[in-house]
Structure 1
Amino acid sequence: MSTKNVSQAIKRTLCQSKRIFQAVRIEKFLRKSFSLSEEERLLEAYQCYLFTTAGPIRGRLFITSERMAFHSNKSLKLRTYNGEVAKFPYKVSIPLGKIKKTTPSENLNKPEEKHLQIVTEDGFEFWFMGFNNFKRSFESLFLTISEKQ
């Protein structure tokens, strides 16, 4: 084997090891943040924004075997009744069986801006946007939800 081939093989191995390490780290974070059961498995994780009345919040959308969960990247600050500042992450957890529909949409003025609407059985709406690969994210989420319904 030539030096170039050995070098390329080492690079591939390191990249694969890095991906595995990141996946394990993400799953540990998810288990700690959302108290997953032992049977629940992480299927996908995406960087995106959750649109709220206060504006978009950057974070990570997790799709597990049982739920869809969002966790903000940064903690939000809130003043308590006695004037102290409390910091907490913005978290949303929706059981897959409670999701009524998922609808993709795009901004008519800016077609590159695509949104994902999630509507729960009790009528709550969640809007996600800013996915790196919107099509793949939507298809994965739609397939996972369809299997649970």
Structure 2
Amino acid sequence: MSSNRTIRPLSFNIVGESLTIKGFPTTRWEIVDLASGRHGPWTLDLQLYMTERAAYRFNLTSRSPRLFVRAGEAGASPHPAAISASQDVAAGWLDGEHRVLEADMPLAVQAWIEAYVAHHGEAPEEGRKKKRKGAGRAREIEA
């Protein structure tokens, strides 16, 4: 069940800049005018998930916290469909050959995510399980 504590609408615009790279024309797309609310040409709901708390913390402690927008297939005009504050989610989108655009995370969104993580607690460390002695190794057979 979601509540307004886990969902925040974000509005933005996408602008393209035509350029030539190694003789080939291309367009570089960029997110601009990112702000809370439903007032821009594009609006997506940023939803926070308990399972992504470690990714949110990693993003917040980076030098430049980012938001990631899944914007359709690479090569086509961008069509924003989802937004996330998790680099893990964005990496999954890239693996699916989607275009992912990045934007600086506004301070208000950083504070909101920080409050979410503080309220729900840090995600537990995903440590490795301790192996039994000799497990997974070939055993020597004495002749």
TM-score by length of 2: 0.26
Q: Higher helix share goes to which structure?
A: 1
> Whose radius of gyration is greater, 1 or 2?
2
TM-score by length of 1: 0.26
